[in-house]
Amino acid sequence: MDRQQAGTALREKRTSLELSLEDVARATLLRKSMLESLEAGGPPEPNGFFKSYARRYAEYLGLNGDDIVAAFGGSSPTVTTDSNEVTAQPAKLVHSATTVPAYRKKRSFVPTVLIVVVALVAAVVLLWRPWAVTPVVPGGQTGPSSTPSVPSDTTGSSVYATPSMPDTTPQGAMTLRFASTTQRAWLEITVDGSVVFSGVLSPGDSTQATGNHVVVNFGNAMHTQVTANGVDQGVASPDKTVMTLEYGSPAHTP
């Protein structure tokens, strides 16, 4: 095989694979003009760089790189020491360049998909975390706690934070209405010692309780609107999410 036949073999193999010169240039990082020169048979005495380009092109198309290089070098039977030094330099380029098409073909979107999945899971966990059981810290403090618990003894008033409420008749019952504003809100309502509601209110939903002594565990206090005896009290807390509030006095519980 001479260099003309080698160029013809390259061109026929490329066309059989339905590849354009532009496609091969992008995959091998060789200029289109260099590919055209290779398919035309190249110069009479190609240097080491030209032979390395021929090998890269041949191996990309699936041809034997040694045969193609030998065909292009057939017109120069005499090999000098200088030419050996020249061909030693592009030998390093051949290995790295031929890996370019394989690397480009192995690109995957799996890491991107994993990042999206992890972000979605984290968002769900953060969204539902406030609806866990409402913790109460002994000693008069209410708020988040690593060990959630709901006090079973409703006879003491020092455990609960009592909000500012309108004056009510000591022996009279009060009517409380709780409504979720813009986010889901978990509530547990105990009236005169009995749990009358425990669940989640969607935005716009509300529930009502009437009694002398009402204890409410909030799972999203900043987004729960409170109305007492028809008077709007605003949100249960302006800066807390999980808390417990007491309305009325346990002394009035039958």
pLDDT digit string (tens) for 192-223?
Answer: 889 999 999 999 999 999 988 899 999 888 88
Average pLDDT over residues 110-124: 87
130-157 pLDDT, tens digit per residue, is 544 444 444 444 455 444 444 444 444 4
Reading the block at residue 22, the tokens are: 């532009």
Count Cα atoms within 13 angstroms, Cβ side, for 123. Answer: 6
Average pLDDT over residues 74-83: 40
Q: What's the chain's length in residues?
A: 254
89-105 pLDDT, tens digit per residue, is 443 444 444 444 444 54
pLDDT at 178: 93
Task: Spell out a b/e string for 53-63, using b for 16 or more CB atoms within 10 Å of the CB, else e.
Answer: bbbbbbbbbeb
CA angle 64, 52, 56 (to 5 degrees): 50
- Lowest pLDDT segment from 8-17, 18-27, 64-73: 64-73
pLDDT at 189: 95
pLDDT at 179: 94
Q: Give the span between the Cα atoms of 138 and 151, in whole angstroms.
A: 9
Q: Cα–chain-centroid distance for residue 217?
A: 34
254 or 123, which is more confident? 123
Q: Is 224 exposed, middle or buried (0-12, 13-18, 19+ CB in 10 A)?
A: buried
Q: What is the pTM of this model?
A: 0.33
Mean pLDDT of the chain: 75
User: For the chain, which domains are there?
Assistant: 3-105 (1.10.260), 132-252 (no CATH)
